[in-house]
Structure 1
Amino acid sequence: MSLCFGPGHICFSSLHSSPSAVCFFVRLVDEFPSCVQGPAGGPGREGNPGTNGIPGTPGIPGRDGLKGEKGECVNEIFEEPWRPNYKQCAWSSLNYGIDLGKIADCTFTKLRSDSSLRVLFSGSLRLKCKNACCQRWYFTFNGAECTGPLPVESIIYLDQGSPELNSTINIHRTSSVEGLCDGVKAGLVDVAVWVGTCSDYPRGDASTGWNSVSRIIVEELPK
């Protein structure tokens, strides 16, 4: 008898019997494994990060949002920047000896109605009298005294002289009448200086602008 092995089978043949061989197919791998499985290995280390992917395709446009409520209309007011506005009128030796009336005037162009006017008169003033007297120098605007808030004025008062003193002394002294006036409308403004009496006192012998320069200065100022 002889044996022969083939892949997946075994054949037996006998020398004294039929020459045909008897073959038996067997599962050698399953019945007789060639390798034994070892234990599981440990986890491997992390791999390197991958490269960035290509950009995705743009999404489709979203639908329109709800209509908003109607807003309020606001009108913006842009004011012009303030620019200086002033004027000076000057006289050499006015020598006005009047006791009542207008001394001098100066026409001024006021640009805004909501502004103030600053006025100044500078010149020599004098008052003399034998008895107590008072004289008043004041401004008018288009013929009326200031009412915003009060008149712009200056006064000189002389008391009754004594026998020891000469009450008729003649002193001319440079003085000023100055103040602010509100409420004067825009446009041409006649700014004038006047001389008059004080309330409850007799007038004396007044003099304005003797032997010197007199001036009126008008300036428009923001409130």
Structure 2
Amino acid sequence: MGHLKTQVLIICLLFTCYEAEKIKARGIRQKDVDYMEKYSSCLQGPAGTQGRDGNPGVNGIPGTPGIPGRDGAKGDKGECVTERFEEPWKPNYKQCAWNSLNYGIDLGKITECTFTKQHAYSALRVLFSGSLRLKCKTACCQRWYFTFNGAECAAPLPIESIVYLDQGSPEFNSTINIHRTTSVEGLCDGVRKGLVDVAIWVGTCGDYPHGDASTGWNSVSRVIIEELPPSS
């Protein structure tokens, strides 16, 4: 019995010594590790240069088509607009001139100038410029006016100019004879398209007696005709 106790005691002593050595060895190894970390660590060097960008990557796989959109709501009905396309307006005019017309009639057509009108809706601008004279012993009046194909302008009104003379009393010289360059000018609408006979006439002024008229004495007389687009 005493021998068994002795063996047990020896075994306990051996186990205790073994554990102590194991703990001691582990403590030595931990110190070595701490020493290596403390005295054997490397110092950090300066940063290197920045690297270059890499090559672009290849395109990815195409995505799948999206869902088709739905039709929108129906809009309101639009208005119908009619446009009028016309060619640019081209000038159309004419001048007739006479040197020393010197026409002495008191009533009737003095001269004429033919003109080709290009459009039915256009207007005609006419001008007569020349010397006019009226002479009489008592009060008298003469009227110079335009006609278009034999008729005076009706739209809007006739184109005319008058000369009235009243000597007033017998003391005045009844042979007064003054020639003055005068104009007869205006616009006429409603003249038909095509060839137009534009004429200048001399006539009376209503109920007034006419005198001794003279047109275009010793000077140039002219008729100018111009076709104009409508104003609106």
The share of aligned pairs that are identical, in percent, is: 83
Cα displacement (A) at 1:116: 1.1
Match of 1:79 among 76, 86, 109: 86
Partner of 2:101: 94
Q: Deviations for 1:162-218, whole angstroms, at most 9, x for unmatched residues? A: 233213211111111001111111111110000001101001000000111100000
Tell me how far apart the structure 2 counterparts of residues 179 and 67 of structure 1 sit (CA, whole Å).
Answer: 57
Partner of 1:114: 121
1:218 partner letter: I
Tell me how far apart the structure 1 counterparts of residues 79 and 172 of structure 2 sit (CA, whole Å).
Answer: 79
Tell me how far apart the structure 2 counterparts of residues 173 and 71 of structure 1 sit (CA, whole Å).
Answer: 64
Structure 1 length-normalised TM? 0.70
1:201 partner letter: Y
2:101 partner letter: L
Structure 2 length-normalised TM? 0.67
Structure 1: 5+ residue runs without aligned partners?
Answer: 2-51
Matches within 5 A, 1:155-166: 155-166=162-173
Partner of 1:189: 196
Q: Indicate if the aligned counterparts of 1:124 and 1:212 stay in contact, CA closer than 8 A.
A: yes
Match of 1:176 among 171, 183, 192: 183
What RMSD, in angstroms, separates the aligned Cα atoms of the two structures?
A: 2.5
Moved more, 153-162 or 209-218: 153-162
2:145 partner letter: Y
Aligned residues: 173
* Structure having the larger proportion of residues in helix: 2
1:143 partner letter: G
Q: Give the 3-state SS of the residue equivalent to 2:156 in structure 1.
A: coil
Match of 1:126 among 129, 133, 156: 133
Tell me how far apart the structure 2 counterparts of residues 162 and 138 of structure 1 sit (CA, whole Å).
Answer: 30
1:168 partner letter: T
Tell me how far apart the structure 2 counterparts of residues 214 and 107 of structure 1 sit (CA, whole Å).
Answer: 16
2:126 partner letter: V
Cα displacement (A) at 1:55: 4.1
Partner of 1:148: 155
Q: Give the 3-state SS of the residue equivalent to 2:190 in structure 1.
A: coil
Cα displacement (A) at 1:113: 1.5
* Structure having the larger proportion of residues in strand: 1
Cα displacement (A) at 1:76: 3.5
Q: Indicate if the aligned counterparts of 1:130 and 1:161 stay in contact, CA closer than 8 A.
A: no
Q: Give the 3-state SS of the residue equivalent to 2:162 in structure 1.
A: strand
Q: Give the 3-state SS of the residue equivalent to 1:166 in structure 2.
A: coil
Q: Indicate if the aligned counterparts of 1:125 and 1:172 stay in contact, CA closer than 8 A.
A: yes
Q: Give the 3-state SS of the residue equivalent to 1:216 in structure 2.
A: strand
Q: Deviations for 1:80-136, whole angstroms, at most 9, x for unmatched residues? A: 111111100000111100001111111111111111111000000000000110000
Q: Indicate if the aligned counterparts of 1:85 and 1:220 stay in contact, CA closer than 8 A.
A: yes
1:127 partner letter: L
Tell me how far apart the structure 1 counterparts of residues 168 and 69 of structure 2 sit (CA, whole Å).
Answer: 101
Partner of 1:6: none
Q: Give the 3-state SS of the residue equivalent to 1:124 in structure 2.
A: strand
Tell me how far apart the structure 2 counterparts of residues 163 and 76 of structure 1 sit (CA, whole Å).
Answer: 70
Moved more, 58-67 or 78-87: 58-67
Tell me how far apart the structure 1 counterparts of residues 104 and 90 of structure 2 sit (CA, whole Å).
Answer: 39
